[in-house]
Amino acid sequence: MSKKQTALTPYEKLQQAILDYGDAAMENLLRCRSFANAVIEGLPDYLQCPKDMVVAVPAEGPFDPRHDYGEAAFSFHGQQVIRLEPVVFGICVIVGNAEDSGSLWLRTGVRVEITGDTFDVYVANQPIVRIDKDYTGKLEPVWDVIFKELLSVFKQELADFNDDRFEHGIGFIAKPE
């Protein structure tokens, strides 16, 4: 009997399972990265801002949007083993100040995972967005939630600032030296 006709040994089954896992992990990484790049590249048109005002950055930790992070903007960067897991990336919108030449850097993390025939997209505190694997021309719901999340940061800060409950709240005075 040739090897093709014999049943796989338990060890060979493990080898095949690892091979299948590796193939799936690589496909997941490539599809999620492609999806993320499409989100990043299309967001300036959605926001109606110059292309260089939207950049990929790490989702957590210190960052500088003037730096080109390339692959370092993605969670898989620097991992020695590619895992079958969601891909996380940061997206930063640089917003020029209306009153001077400065700017504000707004960043949010985005997590993308493939579930069946969809990309499940999580943007901070926003509801999940499901986008078909054939996402061409269908990314507006993702851009909507990114925009809502970035805007919500300011709305919450303003709501807290304008909340009368804090007008007579507890305060601390520094002890004179």
Cα–Cα separations (whole angstroms), residue 67 to 56, 57, 58, 75, 106:
9, 8, 11, 17, 15
Cα–Cα separations (whole angstroms), residue 106 to 21, 109, 144:
36, 10, 15
In percent, the amount of the chain with pLDDT more than 90 equals: 69
Per-residue pLDDT, averaged over 54-70, amounts to 95
Q: Where do the domains of the chain lie?
A: 3-158
pLDDT tens profile 7-42: 999 999 999 999 999 999 999 999 999 999 999 999
The pTM assigned to this predicted structure is 0.80
